[in-house]
Amino acid sequence: MTEPSGDPSDRLGALISVVSFEHQDLVTDLLTDADLKTLKHLARKGTPENSLRALTSDLSYLEAWCLAASGQVLPWPAPESLALKYVAHHLYDAAERERDPNHGMPEDVEIELRSRGLLRTEGPQAPATVRRRLSSWSTLHRIRGEKGPFAEPSLREAVKRAAKAADRPRVRNSRRAITRNILEDLLDTCGNGGPAAMRDRALLLVAFASGGRRRSELASLKIKQLTEEEPVPADPADPESPMLPCMTIELGRTKTTDAEEGAAVKLIGRPVEALATWLESESIKDGYVFRQVDQWENVSARGMTEAGIAWVIKSRLKTAGYDVKDYSAHGLRAGYLTQAARDGIPLAEAMQQSQHKSVQQASEYYNDAEAELSRAARLMG
């Protein structure tokens, strides 16, 4: 089977159209057309693919919603009243909507958005979705050199109160974490197969052991980011213990770091061995680490897409007998932190590998793991 494909630049024009430097006063006197072309190219290249995809998707939605809700094209800068209208249309009280059809998003606006395939959820949207779109809207304003209303206290307070009224529980990207025992089941499905199986085995081990790497980071991983290191002892406290292969992965720019920060993680043992087997079997010496493999087991020079990586994980879960509705690719990232907590690894040490910047976010997995081991939860066990 071939993996799904996707091109984040399909709607690049929509984003580049708002990357505007021409409005600045000095442009006409100092910047040539070539300078402007260079600046726009850098703006595009400086945006990670997943961020670019999110920005273009959110821009499309905002444009369609504004036209349906106001009969006008999206203005720049957006007035505060328009941002508040967006909140009122998307974060409302579902119970009140049943009593008052005029509460929340107007029916004609909802019908228009659904007809265009832009609105799929029933009822108010998740607060996280609304906050993300407001953040994208703010980012697009900054790209254009506009301020926008997004720091206004009235808007922040409206979002805060509307989120409480919506009363929707926070849902994680993956309902269940892919912990070590589940990962072992997925690895068993790879067996001793051909190129796709070898690739998938290396992909799963590297993704988990490197701290639960994101799909975007795995899809863009290049050979030049890998450095073979001297073997290290299996037990750091016992220099006489068996030696294991070691490798450094230079992460470059990630969701939480910039390329200049020099973020890197170590791989030790099985992940290094699986990765070496995959690369050596296909004589991969440069370019993408994880590559597309077609249904005839032909290995492409093209790297896997994020959608392709998600498809591999879902496919392996299904083959291993798991309900794929309970898991996602993010389950590997959640699983790494959950397993680290169960194994007694300090949170700071695990975060160094996962590259989480938020202690609050990372500690949620530790709190869940501690609750599972709690005697207090076993009083009636």
Q: What is the 3-state secondary structure (H, E, C) of the chain?
A: CCCCCCCCCCCHHHHHCCCCCCCCCCHHHHCCHHHHHHHHHHHHHCCCHHHHHHHHHHHHHHHHHHHHHHCCCCCCCCCHHHHHHHHHHHCCCHHHHHHCCCCCCCHHHHHHHHHCCCCCCCCCCCHHHHHHHHHHHHHHHHHHCCCCCCCCHHHHHHHHHHHHHHCCCCCCCCCCCCCHHHHHHHHHHHCCCCHHHHHHHHHHHHHHHCCCCCHHHHHCCEHHHEEEEEEEECCCCCCCCCEEEEEEEECCCCCCCCHHHCCEEEEECHHHHHHHHHHHHCCCCCCECCEEECCCCCEEEEECCHHHHHHHHHHHHHHCCCCHHHCCCHHHHHHHHHHHHHCCCCHHHHHHHHCCCCHHHHHHHHHHHHHHHCCHHHCCC
Other CB atoms within a 10 A radius of the CB of residue 354 amount to 21
Q: pLDDT band at residue 144, thresholds of 50, 70 and 90?
A: confident
State pLDDT tens for residues 153-172.
888 888 888 777 655 555 45
Q: CA-to-CA distance for 268 and 241, rounded, in angstroms?
A: 14
Percent of the chain residues past pLDDT 70, beyond the cut: 76
**Side-chain half-sphere of 370: how many Cα atoms within 13 Å?**
9
Tell me what percent of the residues of the chain surpass a pLDDT of 90.
Answer: 33
The pLDDT-based confidence of 374 (bands split at 50, 70, 90) is low
Alpha-carbon distance 273 to 264, whole Å?
19
Report CA torsion sign: 244, 210, 349, 341.
negative
Asked whether residue 10 carries a pLDDT value surpassing 50, the answer given is: no
Say how many C-beta atoms besides its own lie within 10 A of residue 289's C-beta: 24
Instruction: Compute the C-alpha angle 253/258/260, nearest 5°.
Output: 105
The yes-or-no verdict on residue 367 having pLDDT over 90 is no
pLDDT reading at 379 higher than 80: no
- pLDDT at position 116, please? 85
In tens, the pLDDT along 67-104 reads 999 998 889 899 999 999 999 898 887 777 778 888 88
pLDDT value of residue 81? 92
Judged against a pLDDT cut of 90, whether residue 204 lies above it is answered with yes
pLDDT of residue 231: 93
Q: What is the pLDDT of residue 24?
A: 42
Q: Identify whether 153 is preceded by a cis peptide bond (ω within 30 of 0).
A: no
pLDDT bin (cut points 50, 70, 90) of residue 28 is very low
> What is the model's pLDDT at position 14?
45
Mean pLDDT of the chain: 80
pLDDT tens digit sequence for 107-138: 898 888 888 888 887 778 888 888 889 998 99
**Range scoring the smallest mean pLDDT among 30-34, 124-128, 135-139, 199-203:** 30-34
Q: Does domain 180-376 bear CATH number 3.30.70.360?
A: no
Strand-pairing partners, residue 229, are: 246
- Tell whether the model's pLDDT for residue 199 goes beyond 90: yes
User: What local confidence, expressed as pLDDT, does residue 33 receive?
Assistant: 67
Which residue type sits at 162? A
**374 vs 335 pLDDT, higher one:** 335
What is the C-alpha separation between 31 and 40, in angstroms, rounded? 12
Q: Per-residue confidence at 20, pLDDT binned at 50, 70, 90?
A: very low
Length of the chain in terms of residues written: 381
Domain ranges within the chain, ordered by starting residue: 12-166, 180-376
- Euclidean distance between CA atoms 175 and 368, whole angstroms: 13
Whole-prediction pTM value? 0.61
